[in-house]
Amino acid sequence: MKLQGRTAVITGAASGMGKEMALLFAKEGASVVVADLKQEAVDAVAKAIQEGGGRAVGVVANVTKEEDVAGMLDKAIEQFGTLDILVNNAGIMDNFTAAGNVSDELWQRVLDINLTGPMRAIRRALPIMQKQGKGVIVNTASIGGLFGSRAGAAYTASKHGLIGLTKNVAFQYAKEGIRCNAIAPGGVETNIGTTINNPDPFGMQATMAGMELNRTESAKPEQIATVALFLASDDSSFMNGSIVTADGGLTAY
């Protein structure tokens, strides 16, 4: 029970990696705030946790809205009395859109969800964690945040930014007892692909150019959840500002 007695808030937790994180964290003893866009979906995950003997509550939260971010963190305090772990997992793709083709609307939407959303949640969580003298933040980044052409321009910029934010928070709040790390997955079998609806041919061709060098299969969401558990638990107590690549060797070449 690596998270016994702790409370975790997980965004994008109704499906994919976020759902598996919520289920695993609860299995390891955490009380979980399951945050995502649809009430029915978050309630289903919370119910599954409760039926397994765990503690959870579903909260509708759009990370682009300040009031929603505040609400999901306030719910952790209200329902479980504390906030120990924040996992910023919600994210979208960008249709592989190249810089020459990206619209202001697409750029802003991707950065709002992938980067500004985590910033809002971190900003709200930090005073709570500072007051109690401890806390853990885990951000779902991407190998797209480590390299230049694993996605379109907006997604790449957002994940590079999230990695920078991770390191900044890690260093500046280390003496407050707060750790902040990130996971950089490669391909994962989740529904984030549904956010790709009209791929940019130029950008997609450039993105896929290097993919044939390695035909690594996509990860199962639960394989990324175990990395999140490691970073959220005391097993990683001396890791801070670290970016853990979990891509099956895709970028090892």
Give catalytic residues, as residue numbers.
155
Q: What is the phi-psi region of residue 27: left when phi exceeds 0, alpha when psi lies from -120 to 50, beta otherwise?
A: alpha
Helix (H, G, I), strand (E, B) or coil at 215: coil
Is residue 147 within 8 A of residue 209, CB to CB? The reply is no
Q: How far is CA 93 from the centre of its chain?
A: 13
Strand partners, 246: 185
Interhelix angle 16-27/39-51, rounded to 10 degrees, is 30
Strand partners, 135: 178
Q: How far is CA 217 from the centre of its chain?
A: 21
- Segment (H or E) for 21: helix 16-27
Distance CA 87, CA 36 (A): 12
Q: What are residue 60's phi and psi, to 5 degrees?
A: -80, 125
**Which residue type sits at 51?**
E
